[in-house]
Amino acid sequence: MIQTLDLRGTRPTRAELGALIPRARVDVAVASEAAHALIEEVRERGSAALLDQSERFDRVRPARLRVGADEIAAAVEALDPAVRAALEEAIVRVRRASAAQVPAPAVTELGPGARVEQRWQPVRRAGFYVPGGKAVYPSSVVMNVVPAQVAGVASVVLASPPQAQFGGSVHPTILAAAGLLGVDDVFAMGGAGAIGAFAYGVPDAGLEAVDMVTGPGNVFVAAAKRLVRGVVGIDAEAGPTEILVIADGTADPALVAADLLSQAEHDELAAAILVTDAPQLAEAVVAELERQLAATTHRDRAGAALDAPQSALVLVDDLAAAAEFSNLYGPEHLELQTADPDAVLADITDAGAIFVGPFSPVSLGDYLAGSNHVLPTGGQARFSSGLGAATFLRPQQVVRYEREALREVADRIRAFSDAEELPAHGDAVVARFE
C-alpha cells in the first residue's frame, strides 16, 4: 500500500525537499527518438505511415483516416440521453468560464498623438488530441474545443486513436461530443504520428497543418509535442495525472481516500499524494484506501499507482509546511480539505487547478465545474497554466504615433541608436523631419 514520507521535525532546504518529492518515473526524453522517427515517417509517407502506425500500435487499420460527417451525425443520434445531457451541461459551463479568460482590448495614451493599442488575436487553426487508451474521454473534447471556440479560432480539427472494437474508427462517444460542438474535421489517428500530422499536415488525407496543438496523451505524445514546438504552438507536455490533497484533522478520511482513488484509477503512473499535519488522519486514510480499493472497478491499476514511488502520505509539522511542499511539487490538481482552507490558499502559488473544501472534488473539475481539466503535470504548474481561451490568443500591440508625438522622442531614439552603434535606426526617424 501507499508509502509514508515523514518530514516532521525537519527543515529541509528547497533543494533537499525537491529531492524527496515523489514523482512518476517518466522521462519524455527517452521517448524522443521513437517519437521523432514516427513523425518523420508521417512527413515522408503521409497517410500510409499513419495507417501503418495504427496497425502497429492500435492493432487495427482504419478503412480511412478521416471520419465521415454521416458517422459523426450517427454517433450524436445514438448517444445515450444521460451522457448527452451531461455533455451539453459541461459545454455550457466551460463556455461561460472560458469567456471570462478573454482579455478586453485596451488603449494606452502615452501623450498627445502617442498611443499603443493592445489586442488579442486567435490562432487561425488548432488541432486537438484526445487520448483513446484505457479510458474514453469525451470530456477532453469539450475541454479542448470550447476554449478555442470562445477565443475565436476559425478552423479546428480533432484526432483520436482508432478503436478496434469500432472497426478502426474513433470511439463513437468521442465523435458524438465533437458533433455536439459542431466539429466535423475528425481523424482516426493517434500517438506521436498524429502530432506530426497536425504540425506538418497530410495532403493526401486532406489534413491541413495547424498553428496550435493541444490535449493530453502518453509519453510519446508528450515527446512529439516537445519535438514540434516551434513549428506549431503547444499547450504543455501533459503527463500522468496527479492529485495532491492538503488536509488536517478535520477532514473526512473517506472523502480524502475517495479523491485519491479517483485519480489513481487513470493508470499505473498516476500520482496520489496526501500532505497532512494529522497522523491520525493519515492512518484513517490508509484504512479507507484499503477498503475502497477492494470495491473499485479498476483496483489493479489503481492499486499499482498507490503502491508506486510517485504516490505517498506526507507527514508535516503544520499547514504552512504543507503549502511549501505543495508549491515545490506544483500539482496538476490540488485539494484543500482543512478547517480554514482560505488560510492555506493564501500560501499556495503553484498548482494547475485548486479545489477548495470537501464539496469541490477533482472529479467535479474533470467534468462539470466549468474549469478546464487539461492542466500542467510533472511540476510544470510552477511556470505554466492550464488550457483556456488564452491558450489560443496572441497579444499584439498596435502602435500609432502622429508627427509631433514622434518628434517629441526623436532625440532620445537617436541617443539609443548611437549608444547601440546602430545609427540607421536613428536616421530612419530623422528622415521624417528633413
For residue 386, tell me if it sits in a domain: no
Q: What local confidence, expressed as pLDDT, does residue 17 receive?
A: 84
For residue 396, tell me if it sits in a domain: no
Low-confidence ranges of the chain (pLDDT < 70): 26
Same structural domain for residues 187 and 250? Answer: no
For residue 377, tell me if it sits in a domain: no
Integer Cα distance of 299 and 259 in angstroms: 14
For residue 36, tell me if it sits in a domain: yes
User: What is the distance in angstroms between the CA of the first residue and the CA of the last residue of the chain?
Assistant: 81
Same structural domain for residues 205 and 224? Answer: yes
Same structural domain for residues 185 and 292? Answer: no
Integer Cα distance of 356 and 354 in angstroms: 6
Residue at a domain's end among 317, 352, 370: 370
Q: Which of 212, 203, 223, 199 is nearest to 65 (CA)?
A: 203
Integer Cα distance of 130 and 138 in angstroms: 8
For residue 173, tell me if it sits in a domain: yes
Residue at a domain's end among 177, 207, 234: 234
For residue 389, tell me if it sits in a domain: no
Same structural domain for residues 222 and 151? Answer: yes
- Unique residue bearing C-alpha cell 489534413: 207
Same structural domain for residues 285 and 255? Answer: yes
pTM over 0.95: no
Same structural domain for residues 275 and 357? Answer: yes
User: Residue ranges for the binding site?
Assistant: 241, 263, 266, 333, 366, 420, 425
For residue 329, tell me if it sits in a domain: yes
Q: Which of 271, 256, 220 is nearest to 375 (CA)?
A: 271
Q: How remote is the C-alpha of 213 from its chain's centroid?
A: 11
User: Residue ranges for the binding site for substrate?
Assistant: 241, 263, 266, 333, 366, 420, 425
AA letter at 5 = L
Same structural domain for residues 247 and 364? Answer: yes
User: Residue ranges for the binding site for Zn(2+)?
Assistant: 263, 266, 366, 425
Same structural domain for residues 128 and 276? Answer: no
Q: Which domain holds residue 408?
A: 402-431
For residue 383, tell me if it sits in a domain: no
Instruction: For residue 363, give Cα distances in angstroms to 124, 183, 312, 372.
Output: 32, 26, 20, 12
Write out the catalytic residue numbers: 332-333
Same structural domain for residues 172 and 199? Answer: yes
Same structural domain for residues 360 and 252? Answer: yes
CB 112 within 8 A of CB 405: yes
Q: What local confidence, expressed as pLDDT, does residue 79 receive?
A: 98
Point out which residues pair with 274 in neighbouring strands: 245, 313
Residue at a domain's end among 214, 234, 254: 234
Which CATH number belongs to the domain containing residue 246 in this structure? 3.40.50.1980
Number of domains in the chain: 3
Q: What local confidence, expressed as pLDDT, does residue 26 receive?
A: 65
Same structural domain for residues 247 and 226? Answer: no
Q: What local confidence, expressed as pLDDT, does residue 261 receive?
A: 98
- Grid coordinates standing for 27? 522521462
CB 197 within 8 A of CB 42: yes
Same structural domain for residues 141 and 179? Answer: yes
